[in-house]
Chains A and B, each alone.
Chain A
């Protein structure tokens, strides 16, 4: 009886979750670095206004998959992608797609904070400037302010916008990079282990920020920390040796995963 109810609830939940439209769809995605194959036919969907966490041991292909979503792998020599990835139904690997435009729609935050060697203001204004998103200086000021507010950094830096972005602390730098990504008004934000170079307090701030960003953006985050995946995401995908092991609701993934390997990894038996 009890089991029945649980199954029923699950079904209900599933329906509810499935009601959320799919933002990006990866179909049979394989990636090769030269002769080496890094991903094996991954089928993974990214839901709109959802935080999707990609977990798995080092070298499992989770960052590789993340970078296929906005074609950052194009910048690596000898990297080849097969299969299809769509953004709102359009294949991002279609030759007619402008990769620059794609990356404006699918922004990225990197593992190590990488602010440009410019002022804080210029860092945030960089994207809007190259994409012509602001009509005037006042407009641009507004974009910068809003982006910094969304990244929860405004109060800390509003008096020193003209100081170098590299002078901030590691956590502030990472939030600056998030503000920089937000300023372009992307639809999807990819985060590649955004907290791995940060201390716990800065990490907590970034995680809180991810929660808030979810309202406006679709987020895909690669993380090494299972706790982090559990805290920030609604959906979790587990990679192992270039294969997608399991993709599920985060709650289910961490309590009752379908796959034995997921269970082992979460329990800390490998990885």
Chain B
């Protein structure tokens, strides 16, 4: 019985259990719903849950555990000479067995017999059925595949039987438990509580898992390259493995970090004033019609994929700045040499700033609108103008929220990749001229992980060290944002 069918049957049982539970509650109360502790729906839901959840958990555990049991049983059927081989070859052989096992049901009995006589024909027979096998089979593989199929079949049958029995037993037990004073509502709500708890713990555990996996890889990197060379190194030159005698290269974080912060800074320089002013206009001055028109338009900017901004930088902004600088230097010195390169910090910063405008304006707009009307009225009632009210009352009151929004925006700027790749290049350089290319941490992560590299070399593993560094920076930014928000809130509320 397939898992899908099993689920369907369990669902049907649960539905029946629901109806039975309701009916039982109805019979017990003899139609007077006031005699019941909970509404009849809750009794139904309770019975359905008891009939459905335990088998569900059983199926989940079974599906997680049974492959290991079956696999080890199948591996035991391998001949001795295969068992003596290396781990990698064994798992290769096992992969073959699994593929064959999937293909076997497609063959007729004669074909199976024929293939057993001549295992080398298996590839062509399977190919005739439209089923590809990677390598030539050996005769023991056919037997093992048959065993695998048989064991999986047994496992599924046993699982189905157990699950259905558990479900029926659960429904029966739950129906017995139902009495008029039974607190079905509380029980159902407790199950809901657990479901909510499960959902939130999945989110948290995922985060923990991501950090842990990054951390282990990063630690492997740090065992190859000393931490101080990574954190305080001023040269980024990872070299590809085997390129020379000192194949380890240099992994200095500083140039990347400088590039990240520099480009992020330029981006914020563009995004913060424009975004904040736009937010103030939207929240305080714009008529409702204007607001309903302009706000969605502004937020369209937020929906554009960053790679598109990258194109924009590459084909429009970069060349424009380059030509502009050429014209300017031509007018000033007579030498038409551009001092802004097409790929530069300023190009990336400006385009990233444009990308961030909607974030700044949308977040700040919400925060400014949330300032109580009473404060506005109070200030206007004292004879302050609108702009005085905004400067002296509304912005100070909204400041903690705005600072939080800006820090959130900053962590976006730090994490941005595509725009930088296209607009600022991939050259890890340490310099302060905004008209020259630089690159960022995220770009280098992508760089180090793409291509045919061994996954154990420091050249690849450095990506995880960079990742965890970036993670720590954004985490610190967020914590700082929270701290500021709390501090001001104490003062202002």
Contact surface of A with B, Cβ cutoff 8 Å: 70, 72, 75, 77, 100-105, 107-110, 112, 114-118, 126-127, 130-131, 164, 166, 177, 180-181, 184, 190
Contacts and interface: CB of A to CB of B under 8 A. Distances in A.
A190 to B, nearest CB: 8
A102 B372 CA distance: 23
Contacts of A118: 396
7 contacts: A70-B381, A103-B382, A116-B396, A116-B397, A117-B397, A126-B393, A130-B385
B382 to A, nearest CB: 4
B492 interface: yes
Given A75-B380, A110-B374, A126-B382, 20 more contacts: A72-B377, A100-B383, A107-B383, A108-B381, A110-B378, A114-B375, A116-B378, A116-B392, A116-B397, A117-B397, A117-B491, A126-B384, A126-B392, A130-B384, A130-B385, A164-B491, A166-B493, A180-B378, A180-B382, A181-B382
B116 to A, nearest CB: 85
Given A70-B381, A72-B377, A116-B378, A130 B392 contact: yes
Contact of A114 (B288, B378, B491, B493): B378
Contacts of B385: 100, 130
B429 interface: no
B39 interface: no
Contacts of A102: 383
B379 interface: yes
A126 B379 CA distance: 9
Contacts of B377: 72, 75, 108, 110, 114
B396 A117 contact: yes
B380 A112 contact: no
A180 B393 CA distance: 14
Contacts of B379: 116, 126
A75 B376 contact: yes
A103 B383 contact: yes
Contacts of B287: 77
Interface in B353-395: 372, 374-385, 388, 392-393
A110 B381 CA distance: 9
* 8 pairs of A and B residues whose beta carbons are closest in the complex: A104-B383, A108-B381, A117-B492, A114-B374, A103-B383, A114-B378, A127-B382, A117-B397
Contacts of B288: 77
Contacts of A75: 376-377, 380
A166 B375 CA distance: 12
B383 A130 contact: yes
A126 B389 CA distance: 10
Contacts of B382: 103-104, 107-108, 126-127, 130, 180-181, 184
Contacts of B493: 117, 166
Contact of B492 (A100, A101, A164): A164
A72 B379 CA distance: 11
A110 B372 CA distance: 13
A105 B381 CA distance: 10
A184 B380 CA distance: 12
Contacts of B393: 116-117, 126
Contacts of A100: 383-385
A173 to B, nearest CB: 11
A109 B374 CA distance: 10
A177 B388 CA distance: 18
A77 B385 CA distance: 17
Contacts of A105: 383
Contacts of A104: 382-383
Contacts of A103: 380-383
Contacts of B396: 116-118
A117 B372 CA distance: 11
A187 to B, nearest CB: 12
Contacts of B375: 114, 116-117
B384 A107 contact: no
Contacts of B492: 117, 164, 166
A106 to B, nearest CB: 9
Nearest to A71: B380
Nearest to A128: B382
A80 B288 CA distance: 17
B378 A177 contact: yes
A107 B380 CA distance: 9
Interface string B447-485: 000000000000000000000000000000000000000
A224 B212 CA distance: 63
A116 B384 CA distance: 13
Contacts of B397: 116-117
Which of B377, B492, B493 is most buried by chain A, counting CB atoms within 10 A of its CB? B377
A104 B375 CA distance: 16
Nearest to B490: A164
A127 B383 contact: yes
Given A117-B397, A126-B379, A130-B384, A112 B374 contact: yes
Nearest to B400: A117
A128 B491 CA distance: 23
Interface string B278-306: 00000000011000000000000000000
A179 B380 CA distance: 16
B486 to A, nearest CB: 15
A223 B405 CA distance: 41
Nearest to A111: B374
A102 B493 CA distance: 30
Which of A116, A166, A181 is most buried by chain B, counting CB atoms within 10 A of its CB? A116
Nearest to A105: B383
Which of A72, A130, A177 is most buried by chain B, counting CB atoms within 10 A of its CB? A130
Nearest to A112: B374
Interface in B201-230: none
Nearest to B371: A117
Nearest to B376: A75
A100 B397 CA distance: 22
B342 to A, nearest CB: 48
A130 B381 CA distance: 13
Nearest to B388: A130
A20 B392 CA distance: 39
Which of B383, B393, B396 is most buried by chain A, counting CB atoms within 10 A of its CB? B383
A164 B266 CA distance: 36
